[in-house]
Structures are given as structure tokens and as C-alpha cells.
Structure 1
Amino acid sequence: MSALPPKHARVVIVGGGVIGCSVAYHLAKIGWRDIVLLERKRVTSGTTWHAAGLIAQLRASQNMTRLAKYSQELYGALEAETGIATGFRRCGSITVALTEDRREEILRQASMARLYGVEVEPITPDEIGARYPHLNLDGVKAGVWLPKDGQGDPSNIALALARGAKQRGAAIFENVEVTAMPRNGLRVTGVDWRAGDATGHIAADAVVNCAGMWGRALGRMAGVNVPLQACEHFYVVTDAIPGLGQLPVLRVPDECAYYKEDAGKILLGAFEPVAKPWGMDGIPADFEFDQLPEDFDHFEGILDTACARMPMLAEAGIQSFFNGPESFTPDDSYLLGLAPEMDNVWVAAGFNSIGIQSAGGAGMALAAWMDSGEKPFDLGDVDIARMQPFQGNRRYLMDRATEALGLLYADHYPYRQKATARGVRRSPVHAQQAKLGAVFGELAGWERANWFADPGQERTYRHGWGRQNWHDNAAAEHAAIRHGVGLYDMSSFGKIAVTGPDAEAFLNRACGNDVAVPPGRLVYTQMLNTRGGIEADVTVARLAEDQFLVVTPAATPLADQTRLRRLVGDARVTLTDMTSAEAALAVMGPRARELMALISPDDFSNDAFPFGAVRQVELGLGLARAHRVSYVGELGWELYISADMAAHAFDVLCDAGAGLGLKHVGLHAVDSLRMEKGFRHFGHDITSEDHVIEAGLGFAVKTAKPDFIGRDAVLRKRDAGLERRLVQFRLADPAPMLFHAEPILRDRAIVGQITSGAYGHHLGAALGMGYVPCRGETAAELLASTYEVEIAGRRVRAEASLKPFYDPGSDRMRG
């Protein structure tokens, strides 16, 4: 090491794997100076050096695909820029299906690929054999061919990024270990380091945690939660096979295997269903370019199956049996962005064995985010703010990691539920719902009743691509709310108390709608970014002059409260997470008023308790706060009850509702109900990338009030006109199902994707939403076209509407 680290840096990046090198490269490329990267050993020495180097284009969402495609383009150009060969070549890839369910999945993926501009071709077994003649085609039902997928040299990609960063002024120091991150309030002041016998401190404006499998421990050093867990990842490399020639990457997910040809050898890797977590007690201090002990017994079944699938493997010698660690997150999506706990600690870690294909795009996106202070586009899939504090628990991570690795190659069914690390967070009425037949799913650790089984019915999910095994249950629950009365639990929804003398002014700056309503009223609103994109979708109830309650989706309370906290400045407000303090039970349906009259002496008439009102009421022997609002398009109330009284309130509702035919309703039915009403779902239909006006939510924005975030962008959009509109679709054929990301065709040309889909039980067909370009068009012109939705290669006619298909005037929920 020729020099010691400097005393000050604009940013310190910790970790010299491919991710850290990419962040350094991209920050330098956009003009940042005083960039310092610290690597505890040598660049690439953690997990980058032993990565398989597969570089695919297609990911699960449009923006993740955008980032993967960017990585490919970058790696193809780095050699000319830096003089280091990345080994990148477009060899193409084939994914094969051995079951009908997998065939459906890969054909849906092919439809999605076309939508995202990825070249793709569904191919028959014979065509698979022509492209990969060594493959045993027994049981192969179908495949997809992506000609522009590729592979590269992981170490050289990282080294090229490092050189590119240094050429632009970044400083990279090897064999320098970060030992501490001193803090002042919600900011780290820099990093302490050790290099041999030398020690020092770098004062820094920002720190980026790119420490890979060390990321969790480094996060703790900075007071930041980085939930990831290392797992053992296995592959074998054969001896050279004479005459092998170049081959595409081959994936056989039904056998948990992938195959890569490199220099006349075959690398066989696997994502086995039950993984082996590693490093639970910490990673050895001297770990560098290390392998883990072989475990041939663990890999033997995969290898035996692979030899049957690729008979030449049985004849080839094994040059190496490799076992090395990779880091995995609880939901198999990586962690990117500004950590919620601190205001200048950023994270790019936990890449779930796709670090090479993700690194270029992830580094570009994070650099743009750090530079502007706002996400460059929707990064909700990977935003670290989605992670809950408890998910850093070591036992939780170990248990979930046994499943997470295998899910990469498992069937990606809609509604698929995680099986491990369950039961962490439970509603106060969880046990009562379980006795009534609830079948629970999990979101952000919450166990939530998704549907209710009939007496004697199996209480489990049987996943598939058609109508689910709970379809009829959800239909009955749906009908109860449309025609009678239903009860569902929404205790998992976030509840943030905003109190203080400046609470009204503060929320009016943060929100698009006007929260200056009298106490006892609520408003529906969004929090916007400066581009008019939607950062949060909430209701705000004014409980008193200086007291508000912000109700958020169950997945976003931490992100929403963090956003509010960062906006506080000098405002005299206090933010308090009330999520676990109150249960929330929704009573919905045309007979909801009858039920409320049976359990409370308060007046629930439309005159006394109009839509949008908030009142404290008596409920049974206790108290509740009733909000007159609806996410299902029917008359009803959300009842907020202190956790200690929730079980009593539930019993009272059940007893009184028995004579009215009260039905317990799960959240799958709620989703189909909101789809019929055209209500948006945050994270799917509305994101930080979607303009609030184009999302059809202009009614919830009041530009007459000054100085709220996004106001100028709203005014500009209203002046310039819409580029696209969120449209609702109903399939003409009642049989197919819509879930998410199916292509929308307008006059036979792909123009967008389904942002969310569900079956509309009252309307008798699958429903979807999606954005359609409309520049310079009237609503009538937009709707005059012919629309179809592509489902696994089949195009299905769809009716388009800008108004809800169900009760477009909202008369039922306001009546």
C-alpha cells in the first residue's frame, strides 16, 4: 500500500467487491470527487471472485430488467475504456420446463420479456436440442431462448470498474479494515480504520455499505439494519471436454441446476431447495479468497440428476468441487438505498447470487439517487426501507435463509407464501381468526388472514397459474361484502401519530391533499416527490387540533415514517409509530350500518356520521374510534381499537353479526373488491415513478395550498397534458387469470403492462390496471382502440375504462 487513507472524503465506500467498485465508478462518472473505497483484504476477495458470472437481462420487473440490461451494456464497453478485458460475451441462454406449471411460468416470462424490450423466443424441445445437443430431452416440455444473455469474468469486471473509478479520481485502498463508525445524532461522522499497525479516521459526508456478507455486521457498527445471511453455494467444474465448443447458458430450474460452458469445461451450479446458512457466529477475520469445506453429500442428489440430464457429465472428470458463501436477503431482492435509521448511510448489499448481473445497474441507480437525493426511478423492489427492524434477528435470518436460496429456482407462483421464519408478528385477534378457519399469509412479518377455509376444508395453499384452491372461498367472502356484511382485520396497516403545534402545517407540506380539515374528519392523500411521483399513499385523520393519525399500507410504515422524519426540520411535531398499539377491524357491506347499531348506541346514520368522518364510539363494553372510509367500495367503517380491547371487540362483532349473516373476509377478497372499484395499490399501480395526475389521483391534490412537495410538478403536468393514463381492464373471457406484468396491447401493439390484477368475482372476469400512452389524445380517443392482454403467449380481448367498473359514482360507500 503506497499511501494511507486521507483525513476527509465526500464519501467512503466500504467493500471492494463488484458492487463497491460499481458504486465508486458511477459516482466518479457523474462528477463526484473525494471518493474513497476501503477493502478489508483485496479487491474481489469476498464473494465476487468465485461468482459464476451469468449475466441475464430479464428480471421480475421492468426497472430491475432495465438495470440488468444496463449492466450488460456497461460490461461490453469497459474493456475499451479501461484496458481490462471483462470476458463478457453474448452466448444466449435457454431455460427449460419439465412441468406444465413451469411451462406456464416461462411463457409468461417470455411475454414479459417482449414488453421490456428483451429479445426472447419460445422454443420447442426439438429446438432446444438443436441449440444444446448434449441435453437429454426426456420430460422437457418447452423452453425459452434469450439470445442476448451472456456471461463474463466476475473478477475482471470488478477490476475494470475499479480502474475506471481510479481513472476518474477515486482512491481505492486495500488491506484497510473499518473498525468503527462514530455517530452524531442521525449521521455518521466518518469511519475509523486499521491497516496493519496503522490506524486513523476519515471524516466523511456519507458512507456506503457494500460489504457483502459482512454487510449486516458493518450495518450494526453504523446503527443500521442490513438483513442478510450468508449461505453455502455449490458448483462443480469439469475437466476439459474435447470438442465441447461454445454453448449457451442452460437453466433447468425444475432440477435446481444451471450449466455454463467456459473454456471447454462445464460449470454445474445449483440452488437447492434447502440451503445451508453459514457464518451465523461471524465470518473469520482472515477470510480472503477462501472456500468452505466440501459437502458432497449435500450436492450429490443435484449431481446425480444433472448426470442424467447431461449424460456427458457422467463421463467427464471433475476438476473442482467448489463451495463458497453468497449473501441472501429474506425476500431474495437486494438491499439498495438510504438506510432508514441514519441520514447519511447508504447500502448496496445482499445480492442473492445475482451480483454480477446486477452490479452495473445497481451502482448506476444508487449513484444517481445519492446525487439528487431522490430515486431516479421506482426502486421499491430493492429499497432497503422495505426491511423491518426484526428482520435483522440472527435466528430469523438463519431460518429464512434455508428457504430463500432455493426460491430462486422454485416455481414463482402468484400468491406463493414463505414457509420459514413465520409467526413473528400477530394481530390481537389472530387466535380468534385461526379458530374460525383463517389461512394466513405473511407480509412484513405480519401473519394476515388471506382467506377462510370452510369446515373440513384443507387449510393450505395449493399453488398454480389458474384459479387458486381458495378461489371459491374468496368469491363467497367477496359476495358477503357486496350484498351483506363482512369483517376483516387490517391491524397490520401502519399507524403513525403526528402531533404538535405545527402538525397541520407540516403535513400540508408533506402531502398533496389539504389536511386542514376540522377535527373528526379524514382525507385521502399522497406524499409526492419533486417530480410529482407518488412516494406514499395514505389516509390522514385529524383527531384534534394538534393531533393527526396517518394510516399507511402494511409494507410501508417504516419507509413512510422515515420520509416524514426527514422532512421535520424545525417543525414542532412528534412522530410516533402506533401500529402495534391499535388493532383495526373493518366492517363493510350494505348491512354494515345494521351491525354497528347492534353493537353501539352511537348514531351511525349518514347525517350523523357521513363519509370521511372520524368519531370515538362505544363498542360493546369498551371504546373504539370509527373511521367512515372504504377500500372495498361499500358502506362501512374501519374500527381502531386499543390492543387490549381488540379481542373483546371482535367477539362482540361476531356475536351481533351472526343474525345478519356476518362473514369473515380475508385480504385476497379485499384485493378483488378494490380492483372492481378501481382503487390503486401502492407499489404496483402507483409508485415513485408514476405521476399523481397520470395515476388518476388529481382529485387528491390541492394546488390552491402553497409549498407542498411536488406542487410545481403537478402544475406543469396540468399545463403540458398527460403522457399516459392509468386504465382499468376487464377480460372478455371469464376463464383466464391476471396477476401482474402481463403485456397490454393497443390495436395489436404492446404499449404497457398490467400493474396489478385480480379476479372480479362480482363482475365475473379477471380485472387489471395498467398505464397506456395517451399524448395529445382525449379520453374518448384513448378508449376507442381495441385492447388485449397477453397471457403466456395468448392474447385475450379486454374492455378498457377510465372509470371503475363497479359503482363508478361511489354512491354505495357514501350512502
Structure 2
Amino acid sequence: MTDLPTSARVVIIGGGIIGCSLAYHLTRLGWRDVVLLERKALTSGTTWHAAGLIAQLRSSANMTRLAKYSQELYGALEEETGVATGFRRTGSITVALTAERHEELRRTAAMARAFGVEVDEIGLGDITRLYPHLNTDGVVGGVYLPKDGQGDPGNIALALAKGARGRGARIAERTKATGVTRTGARITHVAWQAEDGTQGQIACDHVVNCAGMWGREVGRMLNTDVPLQACEHFYIVSEPIEGLSRLPVLRVPDECAYYKEDAGKLMLGAFEPRAKPWAVDGIPEGFEFDQLPEDVDHFEPLLEQAIARMPMLGQAGIHTFFNGPESFTPDNAYHLGLCPGMDNVWVAAGFNSIGIQSAGGAGMALAQWMDAGARPFDLGDVDIARAEPFQTNRGYLAARVTETLGLLYADHFPYRQKATARGLRRSPFHAQMDSAGAVFSELAGWERPGWFAAPGQPRAYRYSWGRQNWFKNSAAEHTALRTAVGAYDMSSFGKLRVEGSDAESFLNHVCGGDLSVPVGRIVYTQFLNETAGIEADVTVTRLSETAYLVVTPAATRRADQTWLTRHLGQRRVVVTDVTSAEAVLAVMGPNARALLQAVSPDDLSSAAFPFGTARRIEIGMAYARAHRVSYVGELGWELYVPTEFAAHLFDTLAQAGADHGLRLCGMHAMDSCRIEKAFRHFGHDITCQDHVLEAGLGFAVNTGKPAFIGRDAVLRAQDAGITRRLLQFVLSDPGPMLYHNEPILRDGQIVGHLTSGAYGHSLGAAVGLGYVPTDGRSAAELTSADYHIDVAGQRIAARAHLRPAYDPTGARTRA
């Protein structure tokens, strides 16, 4: 008979390695009323059959931080709990079979150095020495991470569970969460039923969805959206191979393969380019330690490549052909954090085949978040608030995950676009943009012109680490924005209407800037947290005495709306997503005023229509609300028009545009212009862990107004000074390309990494932004130091700027 308490501080649903890690870390923080419910046996979903590869390096500094923590934790767990985890540092090798992959690996090695991960770039001699069984035909180079490792996934999870139990957690196996009681935005009780027929409910303060491939269905039970889908994942294990000694983990991503030696056997796993979704209509009720039917035909092409690459596989018999399910998400990043729309429902699920290496860090980070009520550091890469509700659609998920599994080992080219599940969200300008040659990129489901193809030019991305096929197209669009006039579609940007009698005081509470402004005034500002980290980067336009429009990046609309609603309290304010109500066309460049004046009788002079204001104007036979702001650093307006008038507005401007040099522009041109102006990109250059003063955005904060979130932290930093600063870097060599995460060297030592990068066509070189320590230096000393940027192992001299290298006074914007 199952004996569970009637109340708990937290109920965790799911007993894989993620749920066990969270229970372990919560109890380490002193939580005692922790209950974990597992429908069958611990680890019986995905954890038990995971490959157990434990790597340190991930695609961002904080994800690497979590992976390194996992490795350190697993190394100490056995001593703490007495459960053998099988953890050992074997090292890992990744080899490249193409020049492009080799470039990726060299850039990866540079990134590892910036993140403090030990890494060696190795040639054929070292590869053969470290992995003598590998056929090196076609291998052009590789990287070696000596501290990577491997472990026994099931035992690691059981060790975490034992550690949690030892500090008071209750872990109930064969006990299913069957329902919940919800009051408003809170779950008050979780109902459970054990296999022996016992049932009950637990009153709780928090609920956490750690249900793995069941996460989508459990999410629905908890009134939340958790987009993930199980896919079949294949590997084989050989018969024992005589003389096979310990080897590093080996990855050959160009052949979609990884190899792991374990107890004298060799495992071959694969991430095939086109995966097979599994159980789209629901996972069988009795699923427990199950494997899926073999599919030799699906796996055979990869096996043939592997036998050629690792000849010993062709001589050894196959002991196990395994096919098991693992959960994947639409963007290959797992889901972590407090779920939008609910106040006490959390999630840690959808780990995309990196659950073992991620579980320790993810459990630690989520436990700290739950304990403190705030993220311990930036987790934007995996924050569940990035997920859009439409992404839980089963048809969408089934289509998208056929691709995302394979993308784990595909070339990670900059600007790489997903090919599946496209065309979902189209702006009212989509048809006109398409007719004009737009090549669409995708963000949060939105189809947005990335660049425009010339007549007869293939309308497709051709990827590279160098100048891609659209480089010249985007340069011409960039030039139009700088020298004539360009138009780009901003309809995907989030639009949140904040309305009510308390709207002004509410926005003054959540924003660093002063929102007590006249109607028609636009305020550039940030939502700050209690440490003055940046939670959102927005413009706020006062529409009336009681209404404002908050404009947010497309990728963070839901997160920003969630931040606002969670801070409403008892204020008389309503926050409404009105993104789809209006289309937005940005018209920017020195000729923007002349173009708009040709189609509008309204006075658009600076005297009548100054920068930072918005008002209604006539365009053709329609009205638009024109916002005089700019994200490209030129004279211009963002034109907001009801969706039904969008086609007319577009056609009116296009017809008049020929006389003014109008060119349609894509997102890449916008990005290259903004980085020349050192305009920050949220999620890269500014995050919740970046102090607003360190980011150089103190001008957008008004500490003279009444108390607002983060005010005390701003005042403390003003008194004590800041210890690091965001700088702009312009390369001295016009050849190399910058993207992000390239190491910054000052006087020969790594002091940081670029947070974003793009080519500055007006400046004639690549440009990046990145934080460096101030070390007590004055502004002049900070910028005059000797800086280099590590681009794939090559140190390129760079000039540092505190003010933007392009139009540092901002005169062009206010022309």
C-alpha cells in the first residue's frame, strides 16, 4: 500500500534522471517536503537506455557552465551515496571530413577557450594516436576535449535519488499523477493512484513536470504548453572485441555517428538526417523499460558508413541492436523554468539526447530558481517561456522533429534555417514580399524576409562559415538603408497593449525609464530584475492617458507578456497581446522623409514630428500610426497599420518608391546596420544577468522617479562602480566573419567573448559586441588597449569603441 503525505512543498512528476536531479538539488537547498511520483520504475522511460556521454562544451557560456557542473557532480556522487555511477573521464574526439566542418571545429575550440574548457586542436597524427582503430581516410582534422567523460545513466539517476531520499525526499514508484486541482493560476492539489489501487491527493506549493517524453501530456494536465515529441533513436553494441582497451568517445558528425567503448565492446549511435517520430498519438500506457522494433533498413546506410570508418565493427558481431524513444523539441533546446500562465508550475523536460550530460546542471539551476524565486543566471536558451502555444500541435511537432534530431550532428552553420514545419505564421505583407523575391527566414514560427534574391538568382540559403550566397544582396540592402531608403517587415515583433487606470504607475514600476510622458511619446526602456539585470528590451509608446503599446522582439513576446502579468498585483491594468492586429513596415534611410511625404499630406519635418514620437498620419487612402524610431541608426519611421490596410500601404509606398531609391530589405541587413550602431540584441548582448549599467544603457534608466524594480541595484552600481563593460569591436582585417562567442583578447589574454557579431558593410569589416572587465581602467584606457578577436584560432586585431563606430552622435537618426 502506497503511503504518501497529504501535503508537500513540491510534487515532482517523473522519475528519470531529470526528476531525480531536481529532488536531489532541492533537498540540498534544505527543502524537506519533496515528493517525486513515478508512474512505473525510476529511469524506465528514456534514462535507462541513454548512451551516457558526458561532455562539457555547449553552445553558450551558461549552458557550458551547466554541463561542466554535471560532470563535476557525477564524479563525486559515488563517494557521497555509495552507488557506482560508472563515471570516468575518457576524453572525447570530434573529427571533420570537410573543410567547412573543420572550420566549425576550430571555431568551437576557440569558443571552448573563452568558456574555460580545456581543448586541443589535433591533426591526423594525434587522432591516430588517441584512436588507433579509426580509418582516417578523408579526415582533415579534429578537436580533443580531455576532460569529457561517460557514465552509467541509470545508476547516476539512482545515486541522485538515493541522495534525495537521504535528505528527506519521498520517492514513490508505480504511482501515477492522475489529475490536479487548479485555482486560477495555481495548482493546489495533485491526485495520484498507485498500481496497487491506492489513491489520494497531495496539497502542494509547487508542481514540476519532469515527465520526459510524456511532458507534453503532463503539461496539458497542468494547464501549460510543453512542446516536445518522442523520436526513435538507434544504436548498436558489438560483441566483445579482443584487445579493445579504453578509448575516448569519438564523434564523426559528417557521418552522423558517435562511438563509445564500454567494457570491451563498441557502441555505435547515430543521429540520422531524417528521424522517425514515435507515438504521435500517445505513448502506450504500459510502456516501461521497453524498446521499439528494429528497423535495419532505416539504420543500414549509417551502419555501412560506420563499418568503413571503424573496420573492427565489420569483424565483430552485433550483440545488441537497440531502438528506443527520446524526446526532442522544435529548436533542439530543452525546456526549463516557470511555465507561462501559471504561478507554481515548473518544467524540466525535452532534453534532445543530452539529458545525462545536462541533468546535473539543469537540476541545480531549476532548484536555485525555485528556491530564490529568480533565475540564478541567464537561462534564456532553455527557458520554457520561449515556447509558443502553437508548437504543441501534434502535426507541427511530428514534422519538425524529423529534422531536429538530425541537426544535432549537422553542420551548425550561422543563419541555418529549419526546413520543416514552415509557413505557419505569415505577416500581412508576406505575399508582396514573396513576389518581390524574399528568401524567408523563420523565428518563433514567423516567416520573415532574411534577404531578397535578384531576378534569376536561386531563392535559397547556401551555408558557409565565410560569406554566404546572400552576402552581396544584404550588402546592397544595407547600402540602401544608409544612402537612400529601405523598407523591412516588422510585423512579427510583439505588440502588447497595456491599458487601465493604473497603466502609468504599473509601467513605471516594471520599467527603468520614466513612462510619465505625454500622449504620443515613445520611451526606449528595459524591464529590470532586482539585481538590475535586463529582463526585456522594449519601446513603450503612450497611446492615451490610460493605454500604452509595448513593442518587444518576436522571440520574447510571450516571455515579456508573462513578466508583465506576473507583476500586475492588484493594479487595474489589462495586458493584451495585439501582435496580429497590426502590420508594421519600417521605412528607413536618408530619403525616408521624402518618400513618405510623397504619399502623405502630413508634415513630417523634425519640427512637426520629432524623433521619439508617434502620431497618426495619412498614407495613400489609409491611416497609419507612424513611430519615429530606428533600430538601424537612420532617419525613419515604423508604420503601424491595421492588417486589412497592409496591402494598400505596401502598394502605395512601392509605387512611389521608384523615385526615391526604395529597396526592400531583410533581417540580415537590419542586423548589420544595428551592430554598426552598437544597438544591443536581447538574448545575446543583454540578458537577465547583465547589469543595465554594464550594458551601457544607463541613459535609459531614471533613478529620480519613484521606486521601480531594480532601482536599488542601479544606485548601488552607480556608487560602487561597475566591474565590466560592453564594448563594440571592429576588426582591422576586412576578411574574417564574426558571429558570436569568439574570444576577446586584451594584451594577449582572453578576457571575454563576443555576444553577437555581423558584417558592418559601411565600416568595411566585421563588427562584434562583448563584455570585458574594467579592472579600474578609465574609458580611454579601456578602449585604447591592445585587443584581438580569436577567429577559428587566428588572432585578428580589433579596435574597441564605447560609442558606436558608425555615427557616434546619432545625428543621422534625428535628421
What is the aligned partner in structure 1 of residue 307 from structure 2?
A: 307
What is the aligned partner in structure 2 of residue 698 from structure 1?
A: 698
| SS of the residue 1:531 aligns to | coil
The whole-number CA distance in structure 2 between the counterparts of 1:377 and 1:205 is: 23
The whole-number CA distance in structure 1 between the counterparts of 2:55 and 2:495 is: 40
Give the letter aligned to residue 43 of structure 2. T
| SS of the residue 2:464 aligns to | coil
The whole-number CA distance in structure 2 between the counterparts of 1:400 and 1:387 is: 14
1:387 aligns with 2:392: no
Give the letter aligned to residue 30 of structure 2. G
What is the Cα deviation at residue 434 of structure 1?
A: 0.3
Q: Is the 8 A contact 2:294 2:322 kept in 1?
A: yes
What is the aligned partner in structure 2 of residue 31 from structure 1?
A: 30
1:77 aligns with 2:79: no
The whole-number CA distance in structure 1 between the counterparts of 2:161 and 2:48 is: 14
1:90 aligns with 2:81: no
What is the Cα deviation at residue 125 of structure 1?
A: 1.1
| SS of the residue 1:178 aligns to | strand
Aligned residues: 814
Where do residues 14-413 of structure 1 align in structure 2 (5 Å cutoff)?
A: 14-196=13-195, 197-413=197-413
**What TM-score do you get using the length of structure 2 for normalisation?**
1.00
What is the Cα deviation at residue 775 of structure 1?
A: 3.1
Q: Is the 8 A contact 1:190 1:207 kept in 2?
A: no
The whole-number CA distance in structure 1 between the counterparts of 2:309 and 2:685 is: 42
The whole-number CA distance in structure 1 between the counterparts of 2:99 and 2:304 is: 23
Q: Which moved more, 1:191-200 or 1:319-328?
A: 191-200
| SS of the residue 2:86 aligns to | coil
The whole-number CA distance in structure 2 between the counterparts of 1:726 and 1:336 is: 28
1:492 aligns with 2:492: yes
The whole-number CA distance in structure 1 between the counterparts of 2:42 and 2:476 is: 59
Where do residues 514-525 of structure 1 align in structure 2 (5 Å cutoff)?
A: 514-525=514-525
The whole-number CA distance in structure 2 between the counterparts of 1:584 and 1:32 is: 49
| SS of the residue 1:11 aligns to | strand
The whole-number CA distance in structure 1 between the counterparts of 2:125 and 2:431 is: 54
What is the Cα deviation at residue 190 of structure 1?
A: 1.9
* CA deviations over 1:246-278 (Å, ceiling 9, x no partner): 000000000000000000000100000000000
| SS of the residue 1:525 aligns to | strand
Give the letter aligned to residue 120 of structure 2. E
* CA deviations over 1:183-207 (Å, ceiling 9, x no partner): 1111111211111312111111110
Q: Is the 8 A contact 1:36 1:172 kept in 2?
A: yes
Give the letter aligned to residue 450 of structure 2. N
| SS of the residue 1:734 aligns to | coil
Deviating above 2 A after TM superposition, structure 1's stretches of 4 or more consecutive aligned residues are none
What is the Cα deviation at residue 784 of structure 1?
A: 2.4
The whole-number CA distance in structure 1 between the counterparts of 2:725 and 2:460 is: 38
Q: Is the 8 A contact 2:101 2:411 kept in 1?
A: yes
Q: Is the 8 A contact 2:491 2:584 kept in 1?
A: yes
What is the aligned partner in structure 2 of residue 463 from structure 1?
A: 463
The whole-number CA distance in structure 1 between the counterparts of 2:338 and 2:488 is: 35
The whole-number CA distance in structure 2 between the counterparts of 1:279 and 1:369 is: 32
Q: Is the 8 A contact 2:635 2:813 kept in 1?
A: yes
What is the aligned partner in structure 1 of residue 739 from structure 2?
A: 739
What is the Cα deviation at residue 339 of structure 1?
A: 0.4
Where do residues 429-440 of structure 1 align in structure 2 (5 Å cutoff)?
A: 429-440=429-440
The whole-number CA distance in structure 2 between the counterparts of 1:248 and 1:409 is: 18
What is the aligned partner in structure 1 of residue 758 from structure 2?
A: 758
Give the letter aligned to residue 581 of structure 1. A
Give the letter aligned to residue 229 of structure 1. Q
| SS of the residue 2:744 aligns to | strand
What is the Cα deviation at residue 717 of structure 1?
A: 0.6
* CA deviations over 1:574-633 (Å, ceiling 9, x no partner): 111010000110010011110111111111000000001110111111111000100000
| SS of the residue 2:88 aligns to | coil
Where do residues 615-634 of structure 1 align in structure 2 (5 Å cutoff)?
A: 615-634=615-634
The whole-number CA distance in structure 1 between the counterparts of 2:377 and 2:296 is: 44
What is the Cα deviation at residue 4 of structure 1?
A: 1.9
What is the Cα deviation at residue 181 of structure 1?
A: 1.5
| SS of the residue 1:738 aligns to | coil
* CA deviations over 1:709-739 (Å, ceiling 9, x no partner): 0000000111111100000000000000000
The whole-number CA distance in structure 1 between the counterparts of 2:599 and 2:507 is: 34
The whole-number CA distance in structure 2 between the counterparts of 1:490 and 1:215 is: 33
The whole-number CA distance in structure 2 between the counterparts of 1:300 and 1:755 is: 41
What is the Cα deviation at residue 532 of structure 1?
A: 0.7
What is the Cα deviation at residue 800 of structure 1?
A: 0.6
What is the aligned partner in structure 1 of residue 777 from structure 2?
A: 777
Give the letter aligned to residue 69 of structure 1. K
| SS of the residue 2:133 aligns to | coil
The whole-number CA distance in structure 2 between the counterparts of 1:145 and 1:332 is: 24
* CA deviations over 1:412-459 (Å, ceiling 9, x no partner): 000000000001100001010000000000000000001000111110
The whole-number CA distance in structure 2 between the counterparts of 1:177 and 1:169 is: 20
| SS of the residue 1:693 aligns to | coil
Give the letter aligned to residue 93 of structure 2. I
The whole-number CA distance in structure 1 between the counterparts of 2:406 and 2:101 is: 15
Q: Is the 8 A contact 1:442 1:448 kept in 2?
A: yes
Q: Identify unmatched segments of 5+ residues in structure 2.
A: none
The whole-number CA distance in structure 1 between the counterparts of 2:385 and 2:476 is: 36
What is the Cα deviation at residue 411 of structure 1?
A: 0.0
* CA deviations over 1:358-389 (Å, ceiling 9, x no partner): 00000000001111111100000000000111
The whole-number CA distance in structure 2 between the counterparts of 1:45 and 1:667 is: 45
The whole-number CA distance in structure 2 between the counterparts of 1:362 and 1:561 is: 25
What is the aligned partner in structure 1 of residue 805 from structure 2?
A: 805
Task: Give the RMSD, CA atoms, in angstroms.
Answer: 0.6
The whole-number CA distance in structure 2 between the counterparts of 1:502 and 1:603 is: 33
The whole-number CA distance in structure 1 between the counterparts of 2:23 and 2:538 is: 36
| SS of the residue 1:555 aligns to | helix
Give the letter aligned to residue 404 of structure 2. A
The whole-number CA distance in structure 1 between the counterparts of 2:41 and 2:530 is: 41
Give the letter aligned to residue 443 of structure 1. L
What is the Cα deviation at residue 783 of structure 1?
A: 1.6
Q: Is the 8 A contact 1:520 1:613 kept in 2?
A: yes
The whole-number CA distance in structure 2 between the counterparts of 1:468 and 1:800 is: 26
Q: Identify unmatched segments of 5+ residues in structure 1.
A: none
* CA deviations over 1:735-783 (Å, ceiling 9, x no partner): 0000010000001100000100000001100000000100322111112
What is the Cα deviation at residue 495 of structure 1?
A: 0.2
What is the Cα deviation at residue 32 of structure 1?
A: 1.0
What is the Cα deviation at residue 222 of structure 1?
A: 1.0
Give the letter aligned to residue 393 of structure 2. N
The whole-number CA distance in structure 2 between the counterparts of 1:258 and 1:32 is: 39
The whole-number CA distance in structure 1 between the counterparts of 2:391 and 2:274 is: 20
What is the aligned partner in structure 2 of residue 578 from structure 1?
A: 578
Give the letter aligned to residue 51 of structure 1. A
What is the aligned partner in structure 1 of residue 483 from structure 2?
A: 483
The whole-number CA distance in structure 1 between the counterparts of 2:660 and 2:113 is: 50
| SS of the residue 2:598 aligns to | helix
Q: Is the 8 A contact 2:784 2:800 kept in 1?
A: no
Counting aligned pairs with the same residue, the percent is: 69
